Chains A and B, each alone.
Chain A
Amino acid sequence: GAVVSQHPSRVICKSGTSVKIECRSLDFQATTMFWYRQFPKKSLMLMATSNEGSKATYEQGVEKDKFLINHASLTLSTLTVTSAHPEDSSFYICSARQEVDTEAFFGQGTRLTVV
């Protein structure tokens, strides 16, 4: 299958600082990328959907100004957690797909810890 690479895999930051997470599709052009937050052992909560060259569509309850998403090219999307707080500590995972309603490939995820 196609490869999606996410970096960093782990990051620890101080409260109040910002953190950027990258999601790259290595061998295909991703017209759509998804950002999820995954809770311990379980559910993938969709945060936002981004399409290359357009603004991300955020799910209800997700703060746009806090979770900045940029999808500037067909192979790269970034999630920036701004002014991070301890409650933002979580596992963030991206996925990407080439066409609508086809297989979405996942990155390896990023464990964010805010201290």
Chain B
Amino acid sequence: GENVEQHPSTLSVQEGDSAVIKCTYSDSASNYFPWYKQELGKRPQLIIDIRSNVGEKKDQRIAVTLNKTAKHFSLHITETQPEDSAVYFCAASKGGKLIFGQGTELSVKP
């Protein structure tokens, strides 16, 4: 079955710096890759997603890149702000299942 590995588990950056979170997946048939943000005490919320027929997608300060050959995808947050502090999850989906990575706790220091 699908396995998603996410790194790093924790990430601390200064406000204004960029943050990068990386994920790898095992099933080459996976074709949908969402990223979720979970703030403390709240439910996960989708922040960006990408499909296997696209290599990169950007939404304001957030971008995701996908390398199908290497089976890895990354989340890039530029100009980080304290409100970006949260746990971020990557996920991979093939047909029915949605499998999540282990999560990255991002801390943005003012």
Chain A residues contacting B49 (CB-CB under 8 Å) are: 103
Inter-subunit contact A49/B96 (CB<8 Å)? yes
Count of chain A residues with Cβ under 8 Å from any Cβ of B? 27
| Chain B interface helix/strand/loop/mixed | strand
CA distance A106 to B89 in the complex (A): 13
**CB of B97 within 8 Å of the partner chain:** yes
Give the size range of B's interface with the partner: 20 to 34
A100-B100 contact, Cβ under 8 Å, with A42-B87, A106-B43: no
CA distance A44 to B102 in the complex (A): 7
Chain A residues contacting B45 (CB-CB under 8 Å) are: 1, 106
Q: A46-B100, A100-B95 are in contact. List 17 more A-B contacts (CB 8 A).
A: A1-B45, A34-B97, A42-B87, A43-B101, A45-B100, A46-B98, A57-B97, A59-B1, A93-B43, A95-B98, A101-B32, A101-B93, A103-B34, A104-B46, A106-B36, A106-B44, A108-B43
